[in-house]
């Protein structure tokens, strides 16, 4: 166990160096924390030691707590979590007191945190307990408390200390939004005390230790007469802050994220009591959040499993397939975005369109995005030139020579795609992988146009490409392992999250999202208040209600998909009632957001104003309205049952991909951890009960899949069944 090492120099300054062997980034484990505790004891007990520098042997300080440890803590139950957290508080408090006399506050040893780079989560909470935080001027470093992003909150004193350090208002973006800062911004915000040149980090830390006075070691909250910056809760300013924050959190989270509420409660209640009691309150709220199934589901999907997929959990075992040169065919909305993310990742790009003008326009999209990055200070002029320099915009297929991957994003028309496939294959080498970005056409059908179907695959991006992090990789019937590995290695290069699914109508994400939109529209046809539909969706954690979503993606696309689906399904097509609304909207010219008219009304500048009143004339409100829960069950089950069927059908082969893909692909209620996690939270038996009720009242589309019934009968959950064999 060598997570921390200890050395004392000739001047009596001890250095504790965090350097977790076998990991590129330091993360805190239970054993690591115990070792740190013993080293602090050793330094405090050694009369020859004047003070301590806590630093890292790596380029960064720490990435945070090992979230697997948090998962293990949970297994011990509430009391075990609380005891564990209180023990951690004890160690951090010991650091903060530095061995001083509690009465006179004298005689403590200075402990300084020297951060060479990134310091996140416990990697910043630990420095917060030290007497001074010195950060190296490393613009790539990120400092802050991102816990809220994975459904927990800073529970190692970070919440209590930051609120007392800067006041609730100033601490809010760092705690409630998990805002991260580079060292200079961290200094400006008061998160760190000093920023120094990287090579002066340790010398400056030592200098500070040697000159620190007793008074330098006393934290404001341990000092007499401490007043909370910005005012305590019953101070007029404090009152405004907490009332405002409470409203803001409810507005942003719709009350579905337990961590945000718990965080605010810990901050508020903690601010009313002495510091050590506040830590206890923080520990209680932290325990309650860890015991909430939402936090474990979020950690599992958004951290552990997302990372596992990014690291290639489902990658076939073939040689490295890193992409050096990619050809992007079709420089429209998707192709232009794909060229941008590829070039930004250091890949050479040939961007082809039918006309030079269109190809140039596609490349100009990258220039626009890079300009925006420059305006925000994120990108330098050199970087912009470098990225643009990697993109060749042309109409000439001969430029594709040497490409090892092609991503085709031309019109959604099998004939156009077949023609492009043939032209590309004539221009590239045998080993080149051909990927289509089709959103609706089965891959195995498109592969018929290929001479090399083993090299033919689907790589389905979501729009806008630069923002959406999920990429759906689709294995056609004849797709080979090398093509899958190539697609996965490419997605890793562009730093997105992949899922690998089998070929079927709409693959996975669109297969689940379309029934969600349709269920919303169906309710409009039934005379359900549209605002009830939209708000029910948001109150269950969907980022967009189904009507807003179809406005954003456009009504004409909905019409196109409906027509194609009906043509493919014939008499079995179940969505006639939905189409009546959709087609009527199209006839009214209400094509959605892009037309400034859809289910919502928009002002001339395109700002959404509210639900369109004309809807009520065509679809009068029914006298009896369903209750909120029924609407929510309909909207959630429409998606979730499709996910279960995708698993039953073998389109999905891994529930981790089903959960991660749902959250990243279409924003499925992230608090739930995804559709399979949601089913586990409510339990298969309850899910079947809801399905049976909805089937009786709404129709056969809610029939519980056999798989779900089987689980209910066995008392199993997805993550505790045979489907969990691959999962964490």
According to CB under 6 A, which one of 196, 291, 416, 454 is a site residue for ligand NAD? Answer: 416
With binding defined as CB under 6 A, does residue 330 bind ligand NAD?
yes
What stretches of 381-518 adopt beta strand conformation (E)? Answer: 391-394, 405-408, 433-436, 456-461, 470-475, 497-502
Rg of the chain, C-alpha, whole Å: 28
Q: Can you list the alpha helix ranges (DSSP code H) found in 320-471?
A: 333-344, 356-375, 381-389, 414-427, 443-446
Provide, rounded to whole angstroms, the least separation between the CB of residue 332 and ligand NAD: 2
Quote the CA–CA distance of 654 and 656 in Å, as a whole number. Answer: 5
Q: State the catalytic residue, choosing from 131, 365, 460, 633.
A: 460
The stretch near ligand NAD (CB under 6 A) out of 31-39, 142-150, 259-267, 346-354 is 346-354
Provide, rounded to whole angstroms, the least separation between the CB of residue 415 and ligand NAD: 9
According to CB under 6 A, which one of 438, 493, 497, 502 is a site residue for ligand NAD? Answer: 438
According to CB under 6 A, which one of 212, 283, 331, 691 is a site residue for ligand NAD? Answer: 331
What's phi and psi for 336, nearest 5 deg?
A: -60, -40
| Site residue total, ligand NAD (CB under 6 A) | 24
Provide, rounded to whole angstroms, the least separation between the CB of residue 538 and ligand NAD: 22
With binding defined as CB under 6 A, does residue 653 bind ligand NAD?
no
693 is catalytic: no
How many Cα atoms occupy the beta-carbon half-sphere of 478 within 13 Å?
15
Cross-sheet strand order for the sheet of 119-120: 119-120, 143-144, 180-181
According to CB under 6 A, which one of 332, 445, 614, 683 is a site residue for ligand NAD? Answer: 332
Provide, rounded to whole angstroms, the least separation between the CB of residue 416 and ligand NAD: 5
With binding defined as CB under 6 A, does residue 410 bind ligand NAD?
yes
With binding defined as CB under 6 A, does residue 283 bind ligand NAD?
no
With binding defined as CB under 6 A, does residue 542 bind ligand NAD?
no
What stretches of 116-244 adopt beta strand conformation (E)? Answer: 119-120, 132-136, 143-144, 180-181, 194-196
According to CB under 6 A, which one of 321, 439, 672, 698 is a site residue for ligand NAD? Answer: 439
With binding defined as CB under 6 A, does residue 551 bind ligand NAD?
no
What's phi and psi for 445, nearest 5 deg?
A: -70, -45
Provide, rounded to whole angstroms, the least separation between the CB of residue 364 and ligand NAD: 12
Q: Which helix (H) or strand (E) holds 681?
A: helix 675-682
Tokens of 144: 């802050």
Q: Can you list the alpha helix ranges (DSSP code H) found in 64-145?
A: 67-75, 78-97, 122-129
With binding defined as CB under 6 A, does residue 335 bind ligand NAD?
yes
First to last CA, the chain: 25
With binding defined as CB under 6 A, does residue 435 bind ligand NAD?
no
Provide, rounded to whole angstroms, the least separation between the CB of residue 329 and ligand NAD: 5
The stretch near ligand NAD (CB under 6 A) out of 352-360, 488-496, 515-523, 659-667 is 352-360
Of 249 and 459, which CB lies nearer to ligand NAD in the complex structure? 459
- Interactions with ligand NAD, residue window 455-514 (CB under 6 A): 460-461, 463
Tokens of 200: 């002066």
Provide, rounded to whole angstroms, the least separation between the CB of residue 474 and ligand NAD: 11
| Tokens 């179940």 belong to residue | 574
**Distant-in-sequence, close-in-space partners of 455: CB < 8 Å, separation ≥ 6:** 431, 432, 433, 434, 480, 482, 483
The stretch near ligand NAD (CB under 6 A) out of 24-32, 99-107, 409-417, 576-584 is 409-417
Tokens of 700: 């056969």
Report whether the peptide linkage leading into residue 369 is cis, meaning its omega lies within 30 degrees of zero.
no
Q: Which residue is nearest to ligand NAD (CB)?
A: 332
The DSSP secondary-structure symbol of 377 reads T
The contact set with ligand NAD (CB under 6 A) reads 329-335, 352-354, 358, 409-412, 416, 419-420, 437-439, 460-461, 463
Active site amino acids? 460
């Amino acid at each position: 166990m060598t997570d921390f090492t200890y050395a004392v120099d000739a001047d009596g300054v001890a250095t504790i160096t965090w350097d977790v062997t076998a990991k590129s980034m330091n993360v805190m484990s239970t054993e690591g924390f115990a070792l740190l505790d013993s080293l602090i004891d050793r330094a405090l007990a050694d009369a020859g030691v004047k003070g301590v520098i806590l630093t890292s042997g790596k380029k960064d300080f720490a990435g945070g707590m090992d979230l697997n440890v948090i998962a293990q803590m949970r297994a011990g139950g509430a009391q075990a979590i609380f005891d564990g957290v209180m023990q951690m508080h004890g160690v951090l408090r010991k650091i903060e007191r530095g061995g001083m006399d509690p009465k006179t506050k004298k005689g403590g040893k200075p402990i300084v945190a020297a951060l060479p780079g990134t310091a996140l989560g416990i990697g910043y909470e630990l420095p917060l307990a030290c007497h001074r935080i010195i950060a190296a001027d490393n613009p790539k470093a990120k400092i802050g408390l991102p816990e809220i992003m994975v459904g927990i909150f800073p529970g190692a004193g970070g919440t209590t200390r930051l609120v007392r350090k800067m006041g609730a208002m100033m601490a809010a973006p760092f705690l409630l939004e998990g805002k991260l800062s580079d060292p200079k911004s961290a200094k400006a915000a008061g998160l760190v005390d000093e920023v120094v040149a990287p090579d002066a980090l340790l010398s400056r830390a030592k200098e500070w230790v040697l000159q620190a006075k007793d008074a330098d070691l006393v934290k404001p909250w341990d000092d007499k007469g401490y007043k909370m910056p910005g005012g305590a809760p019953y101070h007029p300013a404090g009152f405004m802050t907490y009332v405002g924050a409470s409203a803001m959190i409810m507005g942003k989270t719709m009350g579905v994220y337990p961590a945000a509420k718990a965080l605010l409660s810990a901050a508020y209640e903690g601010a009313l009591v002495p510091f050590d009691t506040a830590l206890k309150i923080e520990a209680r709220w932290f325990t309650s959040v860890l015991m909430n199934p939402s936090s474990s589901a979020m950690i599992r999907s958004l951290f552990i499993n997302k990372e596992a997929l990014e690291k290639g959990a489902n990658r076939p075992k073939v040689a490295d397939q890193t992409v050096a040169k990619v050809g992007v065919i079709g420089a429209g909305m998707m192709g232009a975005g794909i060229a941008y993310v590829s070039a930004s990742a250091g890949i050479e790009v040939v961007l082809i369109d039918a006309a030079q003008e269109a190809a140039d326009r596609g490349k100009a999209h990258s220039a626009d995005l890079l300009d925006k990055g420059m305006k925000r200070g994120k990108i330098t002029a050199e970087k912009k030139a470098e990225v643009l320099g990697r993109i060749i915009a042309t109409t000439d297929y001969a430029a594709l020579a040497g490409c090892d991957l092609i991503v085709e994003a031309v019109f959604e028309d099998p004939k156009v795609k077949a023609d492009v496939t043939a032209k590309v294959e004539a221009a590239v080498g045998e080993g080149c992988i051909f990927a289509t970005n089709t959103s609706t056409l089965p891959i195995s059908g498109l592969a018929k146009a290929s001479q090399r179907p083993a090299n033919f695959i689907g790589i389905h991006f979501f729009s806008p490409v630069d923002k959406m992090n999920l990429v759906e990789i689709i294995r056609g019937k004849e797709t080979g392992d090398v093509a899958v590995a190539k697609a996965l290695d490419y997605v890793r290069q562009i730093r997105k999250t992949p899922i690998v699914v089998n070929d079927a109508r709409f693959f996975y994400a669109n297969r689940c999202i379309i029934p969600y939109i349709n269920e919303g529209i169906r309710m409009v046809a039934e005379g359900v208040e549209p605002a009830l539909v939209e708000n029910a969706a948001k109150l269950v954690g969907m980022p967009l209600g189904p009507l807003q979503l179809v406005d954003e993606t456009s009504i004409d696309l909905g019409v196109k998909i409906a027509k194609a689906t009906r043509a493919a399904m014939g008499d079995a097509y179940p969505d006639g009632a939905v189409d009546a609304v959709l087609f009527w909207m199209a006839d009214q010219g209400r094509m959605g957001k892009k037309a400034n008219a859809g289910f919502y009304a928009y002002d001339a500048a395109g700002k959404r104003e509210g639900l369109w009143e004309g809807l009520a004339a065509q679809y009068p409100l029914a006298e009896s309205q369903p209750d909120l829960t029924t609407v929510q069950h309909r909207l959630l089950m429409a998606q979730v049952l499709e996910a279960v069927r995708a698993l039953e059908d073998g389109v999905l082969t891994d529930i981790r991909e089903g959960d991660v893909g749902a959250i990243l692909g279409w924003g499925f209620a992230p608090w739930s951890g995804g559709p399979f996690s949601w089913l586990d939270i409510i339990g298969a038996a309850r899910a079947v009960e809801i399905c049976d009720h909805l089937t009786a009242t709404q129709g056969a589309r809610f029939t519980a899949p056999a798989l779900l019934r089987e689980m209910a009968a066995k008392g199993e959950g997805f993550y505790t069944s045979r489907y969990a064999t691959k999962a964490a």
